[in-house]
Structure 1
């Protein structure tokens, strides 16, 4: 094979039979298929040192389950994405500052619901109530607790239409316990969770008319965004915000003040 690129940069081409690839490295190689077509040819890989000791199994049970029904709704006649009938609208004052300094008027202090009535919700049809509310409330999660997020996809405001969403979590990583098509069954589907060696990531797809189950340990203090990584979906409200371990966050510098109600904190 002829190596022509390494980590995004062209290199002086060279020919080799073996290539050592370390963690995070990438190469582009060219192979000319000019040998006898009646034979089989193999490319093999071998790990010089495995890192099994670093693979963490998830906690066997969770302390809290948040079921997030993903829908498309109308707000003032315009389409928005929603979770449990709430479309995220970010406040002018940063959450972390508002929480540390107890600026309660900066955002809605009423917590969003942990679940929607998905057992009676028809995920394959346009909701009878097409309207949602715009909300900047947040989930308050106990520090070092284990939380499950069940992402449930449903129909949009168009008949027979559901979309793929790519959910991304800031500040934390989660185990992907399982996924499936149709409506999530809390009795049946939880039995098929992979609790032995599930992959740990911070981004996961949610497929049309399907569900995805995540588990994470809230061990990174702060205020974190969990949202669809399709940008216009996020700007149309597909996301939530959660707080964990706020008491462990140190004093905030005045240099980050200046937005929303924080302007009053830096005026002489």
Structure 2
């Protein structure tokens, strides 16, 4: 008799396939998780632990089916969901890779401001400041920190075609982003989320946003070169990494003259 791999128990499901191991807490729970969802969870654990790093190819569906002692179809369904969640990327004829924020298709996954004319308008980021401070109460709550825990505050402007369009205020947990400085940010060539991923091991998985129309206060108006009271779009985002752990609070003010905020729903 062969032994089962870690995380798998020989108990079969309704299809006769072995089921991944469950904790005592989950065994006591009346809820049922489909087998492919359990395999999805095990693959996600491997992604979170760094077994397969951003940009690397993961084992084939056949290899994963052998590893977890399930059918290839079950693995395929789990990978389909992980690809839909933007955690994995299928490449025709090459295999399945861990998604990375360096990919072109990921560049605008979290920046949803698009030009009305439909043309591509490259943007330039201008850093204003990066400093460590004690977390304000509201930021601490959103990042699930204790009041006055250390945080990193980044402020930057985004320019499209030379026009200042976005003011970003970005709050990060200081314990996760130790060593992040203005100089280090200025030296990095690439998207901010790609830097967080490659240099701090923190991948943004999903985000929750609140959007409202606001009038520019004097401080914001100066940065965006508009008059106080000018109509702006305010976007407040909390971004999460594996385990649904909040790792970023971002407050953005957008000038929407010639631009619109687009969110595709499905």
TM-score bin (small chain): under 0.3
* TM-score (normalised: structure 2): 0.27
Structure with the bigger percentage of helix: 2
Q: Bigger relative contact order, structure 1 or 2, given CA contacts below 8 A and separation 6+?
A: 1
**Greater Cα radius of gyration, structure 1 or 2:** 1
